[in-house]
Chain A
Amino acid sequence: MEFMDRVWLVIVAFAIGGLVSSDAFAQSFEAEVTPLVETSCLSCHGDRTVTPLNLNRLGFDLTDRETFQTWARIVERVEQGEMPPPAMPRPDAAVVERALGAVKSALVDANLVARAGQRTPLRRLTRLEYQYTIQDLLGIDPALALEFSQLLPAEADSGGFDTVAAHQGFSALHVRSYLDVADRALDAAIRVGSPPPVESFEVQYAESESMYRNSVGQQAGAGVVLQLDDAYATFSPGASTFCCILHSESQGFDVPYPGRYRVAVTAYPYQAKTPVILTLYRGWMVGQAASLDELLGSFDLVGDVPRTVEITPFLRPGDLVSPSLADADSPPGDNPGRYGRPGRNVRDYKGEGVAMQALTIEGPLFDAWPPESTRQLLTGVEFDDADAIHLTKDPYDHMVDIVAAVAPRAFRRPLEAGELEFYTSLAEPLLVEGRPFLDAVRVPLRAILSARAFLFQAGAPGQLDNFALASRLSYFLWRSMPDAELLEVARAGQLSDATVLRQQVDRMLDDAKSARFVEDFAGQAFRLYELRATAPDRGLYPEYSDRLGQAMERETELFLAELIAEDRGVEHLISADFTFVNRSLAEHYDLPGVEGQHMRKVTLPADSPRGGLLTQASVLKITANGTTTSPVPRGNFVLANLLGQPAPPPPGNVAGLEPDTRGTTTIREQLEAHRSSPVCASCHRAIDPPGFALESFNPIGGFRMTYRVSNGEIEVDGRMKPAPYTEGPAVDPSGVTSAGDAFAGIEEYKRLLLEHEVEQVARHLTSQLLVYATGAEIEFADRDEVERIVTELSDSGYPVRTMIHQVVQSDLFRSR
């Protein structure tokens, strides 16, 4: 029977009422499983069982959630050959087949009845989707959309994707913040009156009085920067924040108005034998010093030719921008900080630096005034010479035009009868009261942005109509509302056509907005969102920096984007001969010949341990705590996030092992003791081996042969600093998988995965894409559809873009 037919049959049965009762299921499979249960199960799982499962008491009522899940688990374990245990006599194959067939079909039916043609409950826009939607709907700056969305309640950590409707909460807190955020978003979108003055600011540092005062005069930090003919040479980040003050605020520029600004810096390397990095930061004043908190960009400087770099950050009053530097090497035993003291002169310092020449800032930038967002939203309204609004007809008629244009885009479908007036009439009393037009028009717009039709994705039970399909597709691949073309295709009734759907998916994947999907999917499916949860220990891992962290994140995103763009096989998640790096990440990976701070694709040497997801620094950092690594979280990552076979959580409140960085014991030795307990070992024999293989990588993803040992603190120039680490015990990355295969290290472990697990990786990725896109977990009744996709992809090696097409074309995606 076709999947959809069965859904409808079941719904019909359900609708007639009472026909499909729990008894009906019981009759359908009790008779068929009893022979198997009696011969092969009851001897252990009977009344005197010591296991949690007593089959005499389980019953056959699949409408009971727990009974359902227990039977599903039984099917799984019997299918995988885990039950009966290998030591027990084999049951008759025909008996097993009949029993499994009956249980499975009963489980599927029960599953379908329970959800009555609606696999996905009403799904709320996530906070991220809300952000992108107001950005695309109202045409406001991405930085503002982000800022506003942060006022919405955070999505809760449910252990799955935040798109899963069943896990989403909705509270009065949501409602109040929607009203508030809509208000702010409309403030940002509707801007009338005189345009903000555009400012142009330029400082040639060589001519800057404050630079002179601070470097040559007697101010704090004198001597830390070096006056040159055409620039000031800087040697440490301190020159940007405190001592000699390169930043915009101290050079006399205050951001007058929130908006985009063009920031350009000209600089060249000074005394540099290797590339040095020019960085640009956004920050603000903290007391006397600037706190440079947000890295806006980094650029390699090489040779002796000045380079001008440009960025266009969003700045708010109170913000400052500053050039700074990184990767400037000091001569052994020396550092630039020493030259600020009386009697010393930075002229004598021989280390690398950056000569800062000029800083220019221009903005706020806008293409037109009033901005496009205002003109588009206030459709039909004209603007007079003073850029004030000018109404050309009755205010209420204007209101109707505006709402009629916005609401169908916001709701992602044509308006229903009466719906227009439902919103516009809200503004009527305000107009009667004489409130200004712009005040009045906000009320229906705010209502639309808090409306059920805006906040929820629905569609009738069964097959999605064209508009619901367009929404689901657009939120899948763009994390936002459909654009004009997609809505037009839906309106023409063509989207449900397989070829058109395929064309649209290709168009959307090729669009820049698909980066939102890659980032959010990687953020959740591969936990990339946790990359900044810990800051590595500065004593043990001094080579870590925010720049490196950013590059790690980009590597994984670009890698996944490449698999999609080039339709590469899913085995690349396990092993690949390419990755994406900039010079900093390449040095971290010991890859020669990469210059510049931009990310680019590189081919990995044959002997590199890199390649594939597991050996990317991002994943290795996320699965460590900043100071130490443990095979347990890393093994869990492989099982849960790559293979989709998570180990059960540890019993009760079992804590992790007590980390020890004194060099007296390794995590592996500690874990061995722990694994000697049979209770722990039953899971740890699966969890630990992949983690052992990944022990070759430190908490920031650097390759290692030995563990670093911390050595407390030492005094350097009157300040306590972490003492240099020393190398301690050797790393042992060998292990034996739960299937009994031995490996010497990561290379051999990857090979085992390639041999045995590619299909499982494909199955998991397919399931994850389906869950993420449809907003519902894969349930028993959905397994056949997942298997069908996996089987169809197997001949071509499970290419990822094709997998996305298959997901979108599947019944699960196209049905509610």
Chain B
Amino acid sequence: MIKPINRRTFLRASGVAMALPFLETMQPALVRAAAAPRRMVTICNALGLYPPSWFPKTAGANYEVTEYLSLLDQHRKQYTLFSGFSHEEQSGRQAHNSEITWLTAARRPGLDGFRNSISVDQVAANHLGYVTRFPSLVLGTKNAQSQSYTRNGTMVPAENSPARLFTKMFLQGNPEEVKRQAQRLNDGGSILDRLQSEKALLRGRVSAADQQKLDAYFDAIRAAEQELMEVQAWQGRPKPVVDEAPPTDISDPNDLIGKIKVMFRMIPLILETDSSRVVSMMIHDHAVVPKVQGVTGSHHNLSHHGLDETKIAQLKKIETEIVRNFGGLLTQLSERSDANGSLLDHTSVLLGSNLGNANSHASKYLPVLLAGGGYRHGQHIMHGPPVQDRDKGEEDAPLCNLFVTLLQSMGVETDSFAQSTGSLTWS
């Protein structure tokens, strides 16, 4: 076996600085001066929103205010509401499997050799790459579970600690730590470089089928190495300074609403500092009894209210707090200015759920709200009759069409995504 040359060693030895592509041309400040970047935020409440409290019965600009929408009334002109949209074939192996495909629209989640496909946020993130320190930030309220999936169906783990997120984005770390971190990244790079060199050694020595799998392995190694270089490049640059104290993580698992609140405070910070332009967040912790006045049942059990009025009343208390806090997020985004406008003007914010009716695990007729992003807002776009007047066989419109519109607004040149039949436009 010929000893491969370590490219990094070579670079170091010959006194050449680490290759730092695009650094000089991609200063966020410069980008911002030219035009505000386009951004997107997707937020999913994985246990649905009680339909009668969410969906208006009338369409158009004069739709009536419902119980939940009244909480967002001050933003009425800043969002569009969609009814009658969903993905097809979301009945999966487990009743809650549609939560893994909300952003991907892959069919039959968890059934028969299922492999997830790329999520809409990751398409946008791949398109933008390391133009920001983080191509995307994936957030959650419970654990690493997220709705963001890579091209080959690997789940991108969610960050559920606002404190850790803040550290990653804004804290420099002491010089000793920084040095050690840099060394480990560099060692990691050398390792990947070496592992990569095996590719040539193996060619012709393995079967065609193995070669295919190995190609995927070596592709992943190469992609990881490139990512490490981008990460290293960003590590060499100072982090943004923010006039905000680091958040404290909420350790009480029952304080779901508190956790949402803290994460919702992080989102404007992410966008304002241009740390990332693509954010996805999953709101869930099925097992806890959320700390909300008057709530004694766990969120998941209340979502299976079994038409019991006292449970529905409790469920509505939880969802009211979630929608109210979402309104708070919109307020924050609209109050922060961006190049000629507000953050909200340049950020598409999608709120929804993978469940239309959590009581029966129905993944049809999903709640969908799109705020900001410079679209024409103020309407209720309703596909077909209102939810209570629907026939069983009624077809929904493809939610993916809205995803296409989102991608296009992010500058992705595409006219399709997963189950789309086109883009969604409205006037």
Give chain B nearest CB distance to A150 CB in angstroms.
7
* Per-residue interface assignment for chain B, residues 86 to 102, with 1 indicating a CB less than 8 Å from any chain A CB and 0 otherwise: 10111111111100100
Please state if B251 and A417 are interface contacts (CB–CB under 8 Å).
no
Please state if A452 and B195 are interface contacts (CB–CB under 8 Å).
yes
If A169-B152, A169-B153, A443-B190 touch, whether A659 touches B304 (CB-CB below 8 Å) is yes
Among residues of B, the one whose C-beta sits closest to the C-beta of A164 is B113
Give chain B nearest CB distance to A319 CB in angstroms.
12
* Per-residue interface assignment for chain A, residues 656 to 681, with 1 indicating a CB less than 8 Å from any chain B CB and 0 otherwise: 11111110000000000000000000
* Per-residue interface assignment for chain B, residues 139 to 180, with 1 indicating a CB less than 8 Å from any chain A CB and 0 otherwise: 000001100001111111100000000000000000000000
By size class, the interface of chain B is 35 or more
Q: How far is the CA of A176 from the CA of B157 in the complex (A)?
A: 12
Give chain B nearest CB distance to A237 CB in angstroms.
15
Please state if B209 and A115 are interface contacts (CB–CB under 8 Å).
yes
Which chain A residues border B220 with CB–CB below 8 Å? Answer: 170-172, 174-175
Which chain A residues border B214 with CB–CB below 8 Å? Answer: 122, 452
Which chain A residues border B296 with CB–CB below 8 Å? Answer: 538, 713, 720-722
Please state if A657 and B188 are interface contacts (CB–CB under 8 Å).
no
| Contact of B422 with A by CB under 8 A | no
Which chain B residues border A425 with CB–CB below 8 Å? Answer: 3
Please state if A159 and B195 are interface contacts (CB–CB under 8 Å).
no
Q: Which of B4, B300, B309 is within 8 Å of A534, CB to CB?
A: B300
* Per-residue interface assignment for chain B, residues 342 to 371, with 1 indicating a CB less than 8 Å from any chain A CB and 0 otherwise: 000000000000001101111110000000
| Contact of B237 with A by CB under 8 A | no
Counting chain B CB atoms within 10 Å of each CB, which of A159, A167, A660 scores highest? Answer: A159
Q: How far is the CA of A284 from the CA of B90 in the complex (A)?
A: 39
| Contact of A160 with B by CB under 8 A | yes
Give chain A nearest CB distance to B411 CB in angstroms.
23
Binds A, one of B30-38, B221-229, B402-410: B221-229
Q: Which of A183, A435, A450 is within 8 Å of B195, CB to CB?
A: A450
Q: Which of A159, A175, A532, A722 is within 8 Å of B114, CB to CB?
A: A159
Please state if B187 and A451 are interface contacts (CB–CB under 8 Å).
no
Counting chain A CB atoms within 10 Å of each CB, which of B113, B228, B308 scores highest? Answer: B308
Give chain A nearest CB distance to B356 CB in angstroms.
8
Among residues of A, the one whose C-beta sits closest to the C-beta of B392 is A654
Q: How far is the CA of A625 from the CA of B207 in the complex (A)?
A: 47
Give chain A nearest CB distance to B249 CB in angstroms.
11
| Contact of B311 with A by CB under 8 A | yes
Please state if A291 and B155 are interface contacts (CB–CB under 8 Å).
no
| Contact of A712 with B by CB under 8 A | yes
Q: Which of A122, A455, A660, A777 is within 8 Å of B306, CB to CB?
A: A660
Q: Which of A171, A535, A536, A650 is within 8 Å of B151, CB to CB?
A: A171
Please state if B94 and A530 are interface contacts (CB–CB under 8 Å).
yes
Which chain B residues border A158 with CB–CB below 8 Å? Answer: 110, 113-115
* Per-residue interface assignment for chain A, residues 706 to 738, with 1 indicating a CB less than 8 Å from any chain B CB and 0 otherwise: 000010110000001110000000000000000
Q: How far is the CA of A628 from the CA of B188 in the complex (A)?
A: 51
In the complex, the number of residue pairs spanning A and B with C-beta atoms less than 8 Å apart equals 255
> Which secondary structure characterizes the binding site on chain A?
loop
| Contact of B310 with A by CB under 8 A | yes
If A157-B97, A173-B156, A649-B91 touch, whether A712 touches B357 (CB-CB below 8 Å) is no
Within 8 A of B (CB), among A400-424: 417-419, 421-423
Which chain A residues border B144 with CB–CB below 8 Å? Answer: 150, 154
Among residues of B, the one whose C-beta sits closest to the C-beta of A539 is B297
Please state if A625 and B95 are interface contacts (CB–CB under 8 Å).
yes
Which chain B residues border A456 with CB–CB below 8 Å? Answer: 213, 217
Please state if A656 and B151 are interface contacts (CB–CB under 8 Å).
no
Among residues of A, the one whose C-beta sits closest to the C-beta of B395 is A652
Which chain B residues border A174 with CB–CB below 8 Å? Answer: 154, 220
Please state if A655 and B363 are interface contacts (CB–CB under 8 Å).
yes
| Contact of B235 with A by CB under 8 A | no
Q: How far is the CA of A363 from the CA of B96 in the complex (A)?
A: 43
Among residues of B, the one whose C-beta sits closest to the C-beta of A443 is B187
If A628-B304, A720-B294 touch, whether A160 touches B192 (CB-CB below 8 Å) is no
Among residues of B, the one whose C-beta sits closest to the C-beta of A418 is B1
Give chain A nearest CB distance to B195 CB in angstroms.
6
Q: How far is the CA of A660 from the CA of B307 in the complex (A)?
A: 6
| Contact of B287 with A by CB under 8 A | yes
Among residues of B, the one whose C-beta sits closest to the C-beta of A120 is B209
Among residues of A, the one whose C-beta sits closest to the C-beta of B184 is A183
11 A-B pairs with CB atoms under 8 Å apart are A156-B116, A165-B213, A169-B153, A170-B213, A170-B220, A175-B224, A179-B188, A419-B1, A456-B217, A649-B111, A659-B307
Query: Apart from A172-B223, A176-B224, A649-B91, what are 5 other A-B pairs with CB-CB below 8 Å?
Result: A159-B93, A165-B213, A430-B187, A626-B300, A628-B304
